[in-house]
Amino acid sequence: MSGEKVVSIDGLTFSYDGLKVLEDVNLQISKNDFVWIVGPNGGGKTTLVKLILGLLQPRRGTVRVFGLEPAEARSRIGYMPQFAHLDPQFPINVLDVVLMGRLGNGNGLGPFRKKDKAVAERVLDEVGLLDMSRRSFSSLSGGQQRRILIARALAGEPDLLILDEPTANLDLLVEKELYDLLRELNSRLTIVMVSHDPAFVSDNVERVVCVKRKVSEHPTCELEGNFIGELFGGEMRLVRHDKHIGKRKNGE
Amino acid sequence: MSEFIDALMNHAFLQYAMLTGVLASIACGIVGTYVVTRRITYIGGGIAHSILGGMGVAYFLSATYKWNNLHPLYGALVAAILAAVVIGLISLRTREREDTVISSLWAVGMAVGILFISRTPGYNQDLMSYLFGNILMVTSSDLWLIIGLDILVAIIGVLFYNQLTAVCFDEEFARVRGLNVSFYYLLLLCLTALTVVILVTVVGVVMVIALLTLPVAVAGHFTRTMWGTMILATILSMIFVVIGLAVSYGPNLPAGATIILIAGLVYLIVAVGAGIFRYGREF
């Protein structure tokens, strides 16, 4: 059914060591929404995501995912954590990384089953890297590795995909390809994505949620000059990554 | 070398030593791979050194109260599991700095061991063999204990392969997949503890970290999967132990130190070789 509430946050407050990170947050996310979570570093984006995943517990207020406690809804959530904490030298091949997404789908001890491998190969195909399945994860490019991690998140056959800064440290072209992939996936999945980059302003953005202790939401059409300045504090200018200023002349 | 092979045919103590080394390599390859990829070799070192406390207490009790069945290895086993659980719970449940806790256990364990051994009546040759290992002194009853631990470690390490690998690779993702990450972390530390006890019989308390990490470090240059690393590390560890025993036997060198030197030398060659290979490809 359309309009189904995927995430429902009411009156949420969270603090670390008495320091309020999130205050009185209200946020509703419906089926097939594509939600960008933006805001300054330390503004509470990752904390908000961890609350939705049930990795943290709210001090006050409620978080419901598919109407359940977040921890109980995890089997329907696909998650891509921040990339930076992975060990680039870890000895593992692509297929085994993706298969990790099958853990918890009734998988107990011992090896994965045929069905798990079939699902893993299907999602690898979906992100366009099936022919890489036997390659070493560490030998892939940054963009390919992100795709593999998205495939791993998809391997649990989720209804909600949550990504924490999936495009950090990628160049613009690769970033765009990744966003295109996510938009394709959005046709069947609800997507919540943390992004720190203020230059994402893009035609297909559906919802932009700014987290800066308080959470505010704005229709994307308002996302222009003054508004960005208000969000990040002080005068800000939009960086036109899509265009380049003409070649510098000598001495300039 | 032929002298060594002759001796191996004729002397039970050498056969026990060889069997101990080969069996220890299995636990070493499996658990060492988890320990190295999870980057907790320092915990392995802490557990290894705190074991001396357990061995010292067991040694003291058996000599003072004539509890002849209380083998130092049992003391080691208790101390190792205790150290693993303490380190694990403190790092999971409290805000103490993990490396500080490990360092304290490391030194306090050794202090306890040295105190008890010094108060034990009789000849104290054993301290040296605990510290630096004496694989040639392994008895048949030691061997049974090692076989038992080895089977236990191998079964758990293989049965929980998917879970342990996921926790080593990406703990946060594993938690979201519904894995009890704390449980698997403690399980991994306990496996490390058991493996360390096995390895102490081969190379002693001080050199355990080397045998736990060097075969994996070498194997890591040649494989791209966890299980591949485990198998190769096991084989390498067996080779190091066998060659170390053979080389040390003739000139009567300390076996543990010889094994470690060979492992270290191979690692150095492989690491430098890999560096040169990469450099050559880039230019």
- The pLDDT mean for chain A works out to 82
What percentage of chain B reaches a pLDDT higher than 90? 66
Give A175 or A160, the one with higher predicted confidence. Answer: A160
B2-282: CATH topology: ABC transporter involved in vitamin B12 uptake, BtuC (1.10.3470)
Preferred mutation among B39, B213, B221, B224 to probe A, highest tally of A CBs within 10 A:
B224
pLDDT at A250: 47
| DSSP class of A136 | B
Under a CB-based contact definition with an 8 Å cutoff, are residues A180 and A195 in contact? Answer: no
CA dist., res. B195 & res. B206, Å (int): 14
pLDDT for A172: 81
Q: Could A85 and B226 be called an inter-chain contact, meaning their C-beta atoms sit closer than 8 Å? A: no
Max CA separation in chain B (angstroms) = 69
The domains of chain B are located at 2-282
The residue in chain A having the minimum alpha-carbon distance to the alpha carbon of residue B179 is A104
Q: How far is B40 from chain A (nearest CA, A)?
A: 13
Chain A, 126-185: which have a CB under 8 Å from a chain B CB? Answer: 135-139, 152, 156
List the single best residue of B35, B39, B162 to mutate versus A (max A Cβ within 10 A): B162
Contact flag B169-A104 (C-beta cutoff 8 Å):
no
**Which domains are present in chain A?**
5-232 (3.40.50.300)
Q: Does A92 sit within 8 Å of B162, measured CB to CB?
A: no
Question: What is the tens place of the pLDDT at every residue in B40-55?
Answer: 999 999 999 999 999 9
* Model confidence band, residue A222 (pLDDT cutoffs 50, 70, 90): very low
Q: How far apart are CA B21 and CA B246, in angstroms?
A: 12
Q: Which residues of A touch B168 (CB under 8 A)?
A: 90
The answer to whether residue A243 scores a pLDDT higher than 80 is: no
Determine, for residues A55 and B225 on separate chains, whether the beta-carbon distance falls below 8 Å: no
The sign of the dihedral angle between the CA atoms of A56, A165, A207, A19 is: positive
- State the pLDDT at residue B93: 86
Quote the tokens at residue A156. 């649990």
Among chain A residues, CA nearest to B166: A100
Please check the confidence at residue A13 and state whether its pLDDT lies above 60.
yes
Q: Which chain B residues contact residue A81 at CB under 8 A?
A: 170, 172-173, 176
What is the number of other CB atoms lying within 10 angstroms of the CB of residue B49? 26
Helices (H), A15-141: 45-53, 94-99, 114-126
**Candidate from A91, A103, A137 with C-beta closest to B220:** A91
Strands of A165-229, DSSP E = 190-194, 207-212, 214-218
Confidence label for A252 from pLDDT (cuts 50, 70 and 90) = very low
Query: Cβ contacts (< 8 Å) between A156 and chain B: which residues?
Result: 177
Task: Give the end-to-end CA distance of chain B in Å, rounded to a whole number.
Answer: 43
